[in-house]
A = this chain, B = another copy of it.
Amino acid sequence: MSKQPYQRTGEIAFSKIEKVNSELFTLTYGALVAQLMKDFDDVDQVNAQLEKMGYNIGQRLIDEFLAKSNITRCSDFKETAEIIAKVGFKMFLGVIADVANWNQEGTEFSLLLGDTPLTDFVELPENCSKLYYSNILSGVIRGSLEMVNMRVETKFVRCTLQGDDVSEIRVTLKEMLTDEYPDED
């Protein structure tokens, strides 16, 4: 099956959701990153903090995704990758990503991104050479997938704001979780 159906699903989902102005979002996110750069001594900590914030956001966004995307389950991790790229990114940011660089086992892939509303017109000052400015996205992916029983690791490996051609987020499946129903007594 081609990728087309997912693109169409993404477009329909994007048309259904509530929206705000993209530039307001860009500037608000910029204020958040700038605040963290003030708060923390080093860029690694800022990257980690952005990821953590994204993780919390992803755990909540998954509800919106399931409610509005018309997607109920993924048959495998390959399908998951396409749905993140073509439906998830479209639905939340209005852009799509490409899936590439699968490992042989089918447990690792990359999401390739051009400019997004996070990075529009952003230029990094000199002290940000190790900053993964959009690292909140790594967290959003990890947090939302965990809510649908996929424990993944996510990692920015390239970023257009650092001069790379594309931004690349590496996603590694660590474990398929099973639902647990703890005793409540």
A residues apposed to B, CB below 8 Å: 14, 17-25, 27-29, 31-32, 35-36, 39, 53, 56-57, 60-61, 64, 91-94, 117, 136
Contact = CB atoms under 8 A, between A and B. Distances in A.
Which residue among A21, A57, A64, A136 has the maximum number of chain B CB atoms within 10 Å of its CB? A21
Contacts of A18: 21-23, 94, 117
Which residue among A32, A36, A91, A94 has the maximum number of chain B CB atoms within 10 Å of its CB? A32
Q: Could you say how many copies of this chain the assembly holds?
A: 2
Contact of A31 (B17, B22, B32): B32
A88 B12 CA distance: 27
A20 B61 contact: no
B24 A61 contact: yes
Given A18-B117, A19-B19, A39-B39, A28 B24 contact: no
A53 B31 contact: yes
A175 to B, nearest CB: 26
Given A24-B61, A92-B24, A93-B24, A31 B19 contact: no
